Structures are given as structure tokens and as C-alpha cells.
A and B are shown apart, each in its own frame.
Chain A
Amino acid sequence: MKRCLTIPIIVLFLLALSSVVHADEGHSKFTKHFQKSLFKITQKGLFSVEMIVKEGELKVGKNEIDLIIHDSNDRDVVDAKVEVIPWMPEMGHGVPEKPVIEEKGGGLYRVKNIVLIMGGNWELRVRIKKDDQEDMAGFNFPNIIGGQMHRHQMKLTPKPSEIDLSTVHLSSRKIYRVSYESSPSPIKLNKFHTWKIKIETSDGKPVLGAKITVSGDMPEHGHGLPTEPAMTKELGNGYYLIEGIKFNMPGWWIVNIDIKTSSGRDTVTFNLYLK
């Protein structure tokens, strides 16, 4: 008789335990309301955020999203102060443009003017402040296209009548003075080139230990370089080696060298005209 009882008791006990575990998994009161939304619970578990991207997918350029925010009792969160920050985790930067947020009522916030400036790994950070409660959630978009699929809709830059082809330039915020020497030279189509670049501060001191990334484009076409060049060696005394540079079309190209050191991050752009 006793043994007959033990089994059902164990079963009951397990059932009870599992329901406790379930409740403990927390957030069970948060619900996803929209089929096509991305769903996140904020870091401290105060809110749930559903994100609907207007065009289905984020892209380089201007984007619009809707955010639907609920609290832990699945009530619409109204009158909250919402902020959206586009962020590139690897690059450690955001964007110059500020997203514009309009509250539409019923927990819906429309976010316009999310301008992603380049392809790559982006995070949209959503900060929510409601009364004295503050929390945030991050949405990851690891592979934003560099505008390639939408190129015909992109703003392309026509060739200026004169292009400054000099091989020495100040970076855009004038932090660095950069020059390059290409090997082989002159630059040929469809061949690999190695650039030795020299980086100085604006007052002429060599810059050491810089983190460097390289990109390029044909501003009239918007297709980028055919390869992914990289800085492969710091040569000392402000010199660095960049390998893997290739150009596959005649015409106007730009090469952007992005430089990061403790004195700041800045980009220098060189123009080339290939025949």
C-alpha cells in the first residue's frame, strides 16, 4: 500500500517542482504580440520590446522602425522616454544622425531617421525610462549589407571636375597626416598592391601602435573594392604595411584609411584615377 502511494507522490512532487521552475524562468508574463517582430526583454527584466523593421530588413542608409513596449504585467508602456542608439560594437562608434522618436499611443513608438553609415555588425540599443524605472535592450544585426543590393537607390557621387590625386593628406578631423607609397607603382588594374603608409600627428611626430582599417569605393558606382585589404605589419617609426589592395575597373576610386590611437579616431581619404 505504501509503495503504491510513493510513485504518485513522486510524480506530484515533480510536477509541482516543474511548475515552480517554470515560474522561476521568469518573464513568463511577457508576451510577444506581433508575428513578424523581433522580441527582447530588457536587461533588468522591467520591459519587453518588440521591434518591427519597416522594410523588413535594416540597410545602410535611412531606416524606420516601430517599437512596442510592454511592462512585466503585459501592460502597454505609455509616456516613457525612449532613446534608440545605433552602435557598431567592434568599431566602438555610433552615428552622427540622431533617430527621431514619436509616441503613437498604446505602447507604440515610431523611430525615424536611423541612419546606418556603413555595412557590418550593428546593434540598436533601446533605452527606456518610465517614471523612475530605467532599463535597456540591445538588438543585434550582424550583417547589414553595405548598400550593395540597393545600389540603384543609393545616392552616388558624380565625379568632380578636378580630383585631388595627391598621396599626402590630412585626416578629416586633421588629427593625422598620412602619406602612401604603392608597390607596384603606378597602380595597375587587377593586380595586388601593397601600400606603405606613413602616419604622423599634424605637428609631424610619427604615430605608433595605430589600429588601422582600410576600405575603398568607386563613388560613381558604390560597389567597394573587390578585395578586403588589411594592415598586416607595423614597420615602426610611423610606417605601416597594408596588403591586399586591388582595383578592377578604370575610373575614379577612393581609398579610406581609418586610424585609431589614443589621440582619437579619424579617417583619411585618398583619390585615385585608374586607366
Chain B
Amino acid sequence: MLYKKTINYKGISFILLLFIAFFFLNSTVYAGTKEKNIHLWSEEEEEILNSLWIGSLPPLPESPSNRFADNPKAIALGKRVFFDSRFSGNLKVSCVTCHPENMNFADSLPLAHGMGTTRRRTMPLIGVAFQSWLFWDGRKDSLWSQALGPIESPVEHGFTRTQSAIVIIKYYKKEYEEVFGPLPELDIEHLPKNAKPSSEEPAAFKAWLSLTDAQKETINRIYVNMGKAIAAFVRTILPGPSRFDRYVEVLNKDDRTLLNGILTEDEIKGLKLFIGRAKCINCHNGPLFTDGNFHNIGVPQPPNLPPDLGRAEGIPLVLSDEFNCLSKYSDAKRDECSELRFMSTDTKRFRGAFKTPTLRNVAERAPYMHAGQFSSLHEVLHFYRDLPPEKRLPELAHGELTDEELRQLEAFLRSLSGAPIYAK
């Protein structure tokens, strides 16, 4: 009571005024620096931004195991085969069934549908020429040997190498011979059509064993060359520049005022987190946002599917693949097969590990992860944050991310879209 009486109202209003003035001043100063600071990057950060920039994507790497990889006629032939559904058991499935060109070459399904349902999600094809290992488990070491997988898979094309050779001889003789030379003699009228060396289908396997060695070799050669033509086309599928790339391009010029409006403030904050505290570039690095390597990041396996060991399954498969870099169908010298020669064969280490996917165009192709476990980017980011520490790899430690920060990361991921480029 006593205290109240002695209050000096004039004094109070003066202090109040001071406070108001202080806040006002403070907020204008803050806003001013913010405008400038948002584009302020350290030298090291700028280096990282440049390493992610599409401009640092080198020219297409050589493909020593496929000497037709850059042959324009092989590209044209491969493109036709890519779109041709005659290479399937029901005449309905082609590569584009699951890799539609108008959808980033990826369907939007958790699991792909061909003649049946696959056990994994379709992978995007942009920039795949830069990948040393193909498929989620890396069971193939070249694009041409990769292309030969889906054709004979009962749940994809449901076809055989023998049938493929027959389709090539019947419909692609001219185009084939222009690239690979004269087609070898093969009496296609009397071949068992459903013939392939596949232990899953005993009848087809038996039919394959009934062929002479010369016939098998001829069929394999035509089949391999078809794969090399498809690979020549798939190699041309590249990511197009995104808003993120425009931002880095302008950043490399000196006038920073031009940076305004390319990325929103949220997207820039997301980018800062992505290359900083959230540690995403531990794996999503380089201009394709992938290290091309295999990690078990703890994505839960769908309960309705059999357990998937990922890379631990891929290692023995690629080592024993009849079409790998060291096989007689490869054009590479032994020295040129470094990936296979120096591959880590530690299957225990790679149990449940899957290939880091590119994040270019990631917003355009939900669902996510190797079996489409998550239906939105929102779910993916919550997964990364909420993973219990005992399941979190040290390289996934991200400090604790707030909901706000997850939103910013998502905004950044949405700035990575650009129309793919491929051989027309």
C-alpha cells in the first residue's frame, strides 16, 4: 500500500516510452540485417552449395563395359525398345509402364506393377548414368546389365531372353545391324520361346538347357546388345535445373541483390539446415544429392512383405552376375572394373542397407523409400527426426529438429524440381 502511493506516474510513462522506442528501433535494425543476412554464406558453405549445384555435374562418365554407350544409333534403338511393349509376356508392359517419361520416369506407387507386383518401389531414372550400382540393393553394376533384369522378371516384363532375341530379329533387324553388325544365324521358328536360365521357373530353365551351347551364346549376345542399346538411351536421362540451381548460379555472380525472390526465406533456412545441423549431406551429397552408397537408416520394413536385406542381398548377386563388369559380355578391361574389384563384401555391415536415392525432383514422386513406406515428405522428415536414438546411426544425428525446422527442410526439398532432359 505504502509503496503504491509513492509511484511517480511521470517516471513510469517515460520508461514506457523508452521501452517502446527501444523495441521499435530494435525491430527495424533486425529486419534490416535479416534482409542482408539471409544470403550470407560462409566460404565453406558456398563450397558445399557449389558441390550440390547442377553446374558441377561432370560430363557423362565413360561406360567402359558398354562400347556403344554413346552411339547415337544405339540410343535411338534403345529408346524404341524402352517404349515397346512387345517385349513382355502380355504385350502390355514396357519400361515406361513403371518409368513414365512424363512423370520423372517413376510411377507414383509404393510397389511397382508390371505383370505382377514387385517387392520394391520404382526408382527414378534421372542422372542414373552417374550411379556405379543399380537397384536399391546394387545387384547390378552397369545400366546394360540392369536393363536385362526387368525383362526376365516374372512380375515385370515376364519375358525371356529367347523371346527378346526373336522380337529383335523380327522387328529391329535393320536398326540392330547398323549398330552391332550382322545378326547371327538363329532358326527362330524352332526355338522354345519360354527359355531362360532362371531357377525360379523350372519349365523355362529346362527349355533353356535343351538349347545347344551355340544357340545359348547367340541368344545371350543379342540380348546383351539389346541391353547395351537400352542403356545408351537411359544414360541420356538427366535432371534439369531447379530453383535451387538458379540460386547457386546467381550466388556465384557478385550481385547479391539478384538473389532475392529465387528461394523463399523458408527454403533458404531449410537449405542451411540441410547442409548444416541436419547432416543430410552426409549421404545426400554431390550434384545428384546421393553418395551412391548403401545405408541402413532404419526405415521400418512393411509387415506384409518378406524381410528385405537390401545391399546384403545385392553383394553376392552382383559378384556372381553373368553380365557383370568382369564377365565375357562386358567390353571393359579388368582394370576398368574398379567398383567390382574393390567392392566392400561385408554383408553383415550392409544388412538392410539401401542405396541413397537422389533428391532431385523428390517432391514430384511420392511415395518414398524402398518399399514406398512413407506417403509424403512430411512423413519422411518426421521419420528422420523421431527415429529413436538407439536406431539412429551417428551420421544421422541431427541435433533436435523442431516442427518449424522440419517444415523448412520440406520447403527446401520442394525447390529441387526441374524438368528432366533426355534424348528426343
Partner of B342 from the list A146, A244, A249 (CB cut-off 8 Å) is A244
Interface centre among A151, A189, A221, A226 (most CB of B within 10 A): A226
Question: How many Å from the CB of B325 to the closest CB on chain A?
Answer: 14
Question: Are the C-beta atoms of B351 and A227 separated by less than 8 Å?
Answer: no
User: Please, which residues of chain B bring their CB within 8 A of the CB of A220?
Assistant: 394
> Is A148 part of the contact surface with B, judged by Cβ < 8 Å?
yes
Complex interface residues of chain A between 200 and 227 (CB less than 8 A to chain B)? 218, 220-227
Which residues from B are CB-within-8-Å of A226?
A: 291, 293, 344
Q: Which residue of A lies closest to B130 (CB)?
A: A190
Quick one: given A145-B349, A190-B285, are A151 and B394 in contact (CB under 8 Å)? yes
Scan B364-393; emit 1 where CB is below 8 A from any A CB, else 0: 000000000000000000000000011111
Q: Is B283 on the interface with A (CB-CB < 8 A)?
A: yes
B394 x A152 contact (CB < 8 A): yes
- Given A156-B394, A223-B393, A244-B338, residue A145 in contact with residue B348 (CB < 8 A): yes
Chain A minimum-CB-distance residue to B338: A192
Within 8 A of A (CB), among B63-82: none
- Determine if A249 and B291 form an interchain contact, defined as CB atoms under 8 angstroms apart: yes
State whether B389 touches A250 (Cβ < 8 A).
Answer: no
* A143 on interface, CB distance cutoff 8 Å: yes
Q: For the complex, is A76 an interface residue (Cβ under 8 Å from B)?
A: no
Q: A143-B348, A249-B395, A251-B282 are in contact. Are A229 and B291 (CB under 8 A)?
A: no
- Chain A residues with Cβ below 8 Å from B344 are 224-228
Q: Does A3 contact B (CB under 8 A)?
A: no
Interface assignment of A149: CB less than 8 Å from any CB of chain B: yes
B44 on the interface (CB 8 Å rule)?
A: yes
Given contacts A190-B291, A221-B394, contact A148 B346 (CB under 8 A): yes
Instruction: Check A152 against B349 for contact (C-beta < 8 Å).
Output: no
Given the interface pairs A190-B292, A248-B291, the reply to whether A223 lies near B395 with Cβ below 8 Å is yes
CB contacts (< 8 Å) of A222 on chain B: these are 394
* Distance (whole angstroms) from the CB of A36 to the closest CB of chain B: 21
Q: Is B286 an interface residue (CB 8 A)?
A: yes
Least Cβ–Cβ distance between B310 and chain A, in angstroms: 13
**A146 and B291: CB pair below 8 A?**
no
Q: Could you say which residues of chain B place their CB within 8 Å of the CB of A223? A: 349, 393-395
Residues in chain B near residue A243, CB distance under 8 A: 338, 341-342
Please name all residues of chain A whose beta carbon is closer than 8 Å to the beta carbon of B392 when the two chains form the complex: 152
Q: Counting CB contacts under 8 A, is B345 at the interface?
A: yes
Whole-angstrom distance between the alpha carbons of A225 and B343 in the complex?
A: 10
A143, B47: Cα distance in complex, Å:
41
Q: Which residues of B contact A149 (CB under 8 A)?
A: 348-349, 351
Q: Is B317 an interface residue (CB 8 A)?
A: no
- CB of B298, distance to nearest CB on chain A (Å): 10
B125 within 8 A of A: no
Q: Find residues 265-289 in chain B having any chain A CB closer than 8 Å to their own CB.
A: 281-283, 285-286
CB interface residues, A 214-261, toward B, < 8 Å: 218, 220-230, 243-244, 246, 248-251
The answer, yes or no, to whether A119 is at the interface (CB within 8 Å) is yes
The chain A residue with its CB closest to the CB of B283 is A249
Q: Which of B47, B281, B342, B390 contacts A230 (CB 8 A)?
A: B342
Give the CA-CA distance A220 to B286 in the complex, in Å.
Answer: 21
Whether A275 sits at the interface, judged by CB under 8 Å, is yes
In the bound complex, residues from chain B placing their C-beta under 8 Å from that of A218 are 395
Interchain CB contact (< 8 A) of B395 among A221, A228, A229: A221
Q: Given A151-B393, A223-B395, A249-B395, verify A189-B349 contact (CB < 8 Å).
A: no
Q: Which of B293, B348, B395 contacts A148 (CB 8 A)?
A: B348
A275 touching B44 in the complex, CB below 8 Å, given contacts A148-B348, A223-B393: yes
Partner of B390, one of A152, A190, A248: A152
Q: Which residues of B contact A156 (CB under 8 A)?
A: 394
- Of chain B, the residue at the smallest CB distance from A249 is B282
C-alpha spacing A152/B285, complex, angstroms: 23
Binary contact track B322-364/A, C-beta < 8 Å → 1, others 0: 0000000000000000100111111011010000000000000
A228 neighbours in B (Cβ, 8 Å): 342-346
For B134-160 the 0/1 string (1 means CB < 8 A from A) is: 000000000000000000000000000
In the assembly, what is the distance between CA of A148 and CA of B294, in Å?
Answer: 13
Bound form: Cα–Cα A248–B285 in Å: 8
Among candidates B281, B293, B343, B394, residue contacting A250 with C-beta atoms closer than 8 Å: B281
In the assembled complex, which residues on chain B have CB atoms less than 8 Å from the CB atom of A145?
Answer: 348-349
B262 interface residue per 8 A CB criterion: no
Contacts of B395 in A (CB 8 A): 218, 221, 223, 249
On whether the beta carbons of A189 and B286 are closer than 8 Å, the reply is yes
Docked complex Cα distance between A143 and B292 (Å): 26
Chain A residue contacts of B345, Cβ below 8 A: 228
**8 A Cβ contacts from A140-162 to B:** 143, 145-146, 148-149, 151-152, 156
Q: Which of A106-120 contact B (CB under 8 A)?
A: 119
Asked whether any CB of chain A lies closer than 8 Å to the CB of B168, the reply is no
Q: A146-B346, A227-B343, A243-B338 are in contact. Are A275 and B393 (CB under 8 A)?
A: no
Tell me, rounded to whole Å, the shortest Cβ–Cβ distance linking B36 to chain A.
25
Closest Cβ–Cβ distance, residue B354 to chain A (whole Å): 14
A249 touches B285 (CB 8 A): yes
5 CB contacts below 8 A, A to B, read A143-B348, A221-B393, A224-B346, A249-B283, A275-B51
* Chain B interface residues (CB < 8 Å from chain A): 44, 47-48, 51, 281-283, 285-286, 291-293, 338, 341-346, 348-349, 351, 389-395
Across the A-B interface, the 3 shortest Cβ-Cβ residue pairs: A244-B342, A148-B349, A248-B291
9 extra A-B contacts, CB within 8 A, seeds A145-B348, A146-B349, A223-B349: A146-B348, A152-B394, A190-B293, A223-B393, A249-B395, A250-B48, A250-B285, A251-B282, A275-B44
